[in-house]
A and B are shown apart, each in its own frame.
Chain A
Amino acid sequence: MRRARNPNHAIAATIAVVALCAIAATFTFEPVPPGLPGLGAVEFPRLVSGILLALALVLGLTAASPPTEEEVPRVSGQAWVIFALCLGFLPLVDMIGMIPAIPIFLLVVGRLWGGTAWPSLLLSALGMGIGIWIVFVKIFRLTLPKGWLGTMLGL
């Protein structure tokens, strides 16, 4: 019979890789003139990375019950699409500017999320866009990115 996989092993290995990379990166720091009292620039990060490595080892040796579906639900295909849309928000801002991008993002992601009718989503998306424009642009005088389109239109 196959033994249940201990999820701590993968986590511990990842943490150990991070710690080792951090230690390796300290060797790329510019050297400090000798003779300075106290700790230099590299010792503290190396000390912390060493502790991190030791803790990763302890975690790897710690037994863990496998997570249940309730604790860690599977990432569905639709969830991946929403993640991609979140990432896609930045290029959209670059293209059409922050204020127009907000209602579009809210509408599309809200629709994918499900459970809410189009009219409610449209109303809330427009309300949010206008609200953000009033609070941040008009009251707080924040300059939000205008994007390629905004610059082209001279807004």
Chain B
Amino acid sequence: MNLLTAKSFKKLAVRPEFYVFIIILLLSLFIQAKSGLFFTNNNIVDLLRSMTVPLIYAICAYLGFISTGPDVSFPLIAALSGYLATQFVMVTGYSGSIIVVFLVAIACGLVMGAINGFIIAKYNFPSLIVTLGTTSIFSGILLGVFEAGRIKLPESMIEFGQQSLIKVTNAETGLGSSLPMTFLIAIGLYILTYLFLNFTMAGRGVFAVGGDETSAERAGFNVKKIRFGVFTVNGGLAAIAGVCYSVESTYFLPTEFAGMEMIVIAAVILGGTRLMGGVGTLTGCVLGTLLLTIVTNSLILVGVPIYWQKFIIGAIIIVGTAISVIQIAELKGFRRSKRKKVEVA
């Protein structure tokens, strides 16, 4: 009995999610001890609020990594489809259900994602270079062709953004905070992605293609179709994030989107998603995003100057990737040494 628990603990301790969880725990306790402001209801709600959009982006980055490689185009797809959806409402004067606005954005996002997917799947180019290129194209379309500027959102969209799920006020400091409905969307997307990845053949195919392309092909998966599908879906997901981000800030801010990709990629890698594909969990994505959000949001509470942020994020990416790469190497080394022992015996 004792042995069993020790074994399962060992299994748990190998997983990167476990370390991230420990780090989150220590960091939050440290911030709490230093400032006394971490475990307050408004700070927790604030954290959840600022996590919403990065959480959706994290699914994009995650799907990209486990199937093919890095996808860096999602912030600009979010921006461009968010802009098109906003324009749709402005031009048609549509004031009905917000779902239609989301559907318009998703349609635009799917088209943009399909462009990525087509190029990557057909020519087998490195996904980073292709998505860097399309990012540049989308940004050119948004800022050059449409000359998008700061737009105040139409009433119907603002209304949706202001509906809140939970509203809290800190009794001591008097600071209030509310959790928007968009948080539910993020949770819904996680549940859908989880079900898709674990309970459908196509979902298993996403892992298989990332793990070993040749084996996946021999097992009967259509590698090109799966890659195309993943990047197309990524476009749709990014579009949802784009609308969520806009309704949260009540303005469409075209220049605020770019740059998010680095933090999201860092979060996903920290959460244990393997860079070479095939391995990673959604739990890891959530924990990684939580850690990065705490770093960007709450370090101010303990008096770390804002200009340290970039440095800390860079350091986290490097340390996180180094740990996961070394772990993989050790695992392999462990297996090899075990086999040798058997041979000797």
A and B are interacting partners: no
Interface residues of B (CB under 8 A from A): none
Interface residues of A (CB under 8 A from B): none
